[in-house]
Amino acid sequence: MCSSFGDPHFTPWAGASFSFQGVGLYELATVPEADLRVETLQCRFGQLASSNAAVAFRLGDRVFESYGNDLYIDGELQSRATGVAELDGGVVLTRDFDRIDVSRGRV
């Protein structure tokens, strides 16, 4: 698993965790075997830090975008309800108050 959270702290697929205070659009992960690409948008936060402002990813033919508490799937705003939903193609979306996990069978 790889992750990015907060002002951003990163955990890559392999290697030590690190923080990165850049501002802009960055590729977080690409997994060709799973047809997955993840990008984050980092914006300035205060004078010395940046923060994840949005994340977007493509999984197969589906596009997911998260801005604050809003989640869009293929351009349609989704309910803010928490829980687990199974989408077409075996995609499982788990939504908690401040976290969204997306998975699809093993690669």
The pLDDT score that the predictor gives to residue 107 is 39
Residue 106: per-residue pLDDT: 47
Extract the residue ranges of the chain whose pLDDT is less than 50: 106-107
Task: Say how far apart CA 102 and CA 80 lie, in whole Å.
Answer: 15
Nearby residues of 101 by Cβ (< 8 Å), 6 or more positions away = 93, 94, 95
pTM for this prediction: 0.74
Residue-level pLDDT at 74: 92
pLDDT digits (tens, 9 = 90+) for 36-60: 888 889 999 888 889 888 889 888 8
Cβ-count burial of 19 within 10 angstroms (0-12 exposed, 13-18 middle, 19+ buried)?
Answer: exposed
